[in-house]
Copies of this chain bind each other. A is one copy, B any other.
């Protein structure tokens, strides 16, 4: 993006100030999202509380939606931190998967209400906030890599048919859990945590069962489904920008 010039001499004062302004707007908006939700967080309020003008906020973030992409990134980084020790110490696949999922829900909890309202926008396939959108590709890729790591560094051996697509399938599974969580009004998302416990068993079992000939067609479908989904997300439209 911008040059980060030498830390010592005089020039970068401006740059730094801009960076600080940007950060102030970002922090303020993330705080407001948490505290008062998505709808009550107006651009005017973000600007006021960050002590910039409305127009200035728009100088740094093209739209309210763009502010949210930042939330995605931050949420993912927090998730990684929360998972770190588990992924280093645990080798059992079931425990690794369950731990990562529980951590995702737990770290997202402060944003629960926000996520619900946000989802309204994110669900629109044409929205840049859709988890399937090109704009979300970076976070999506990172999250998928996390799924790969869960499996790769575990003791479990994955049947060949599944291996290449398993991380994507697990990412879809994570999206499903998040979708459930968004709708889950129970105390401390307790229901979602129970859902994770129950479904993780099934998922791990299915990974082994994938070897069974009876299930071959099922596995094939699941695999080709993720491929199909990827194509939906990246439709070959060389489109003139409007």
A170-202 CB mask vs B (1 if < 8 Å, else 0) is 000000000010111100000100010011011
Contacts of A119 in B (CB 8 A): 123-125
Q: Say how far A148's CB is from chain B's closest CB, in angstroms.
A: 24
Is A217's CB under 8 angstroms from B202's CB?
yes
- Encoded as 1 (CB less than 8 Å from any B CB) or 0, chain A from 125 to 143 comes to 1110000100000000000
The chain B residue sitting closest to A129, CB to CB, is B120
| Docked pose: A214 CA to B116 CA in angstroms | 37
A116 touches B126 (CB 8 A): yes
**Minimal beta-carbon separation of A158 from chain B (angstroms):** 18
Q: A202-B218, A209-B214, A218-B202 are in contact. Are A191 and B228 (CB under 8 A)?
A: yes
Tell me whether B116 and A120 are in contact (CB under 8 A): no
Say yes or no: is A63 at the interface (Cβ < 8 Å to chain B).
Answer: no
Q: Determine whether the beta carbon of B132 is less than 8 Å from that of A183.
A: yes
Sample 16 A-B pairs with CB under 8 A, ordered by A number: A116-B125, A119-B124, A120-B123, A123-B124, A125-B183, A180-B228, A185-B232, A185-B237, A191-B228, A191-B231, A191-B232, A195-B225, A198-B221, A198-B224, A199-B225, A202-B217
Residues of A within 8 A of B (CB): 116-117, 119-127, 132, 180, 182-185, 191, 195, 198-199, 201-202, 205-206, 209, 212, 214, 217-218, 221, 224-225, 228-229, 231-233, 235, 237
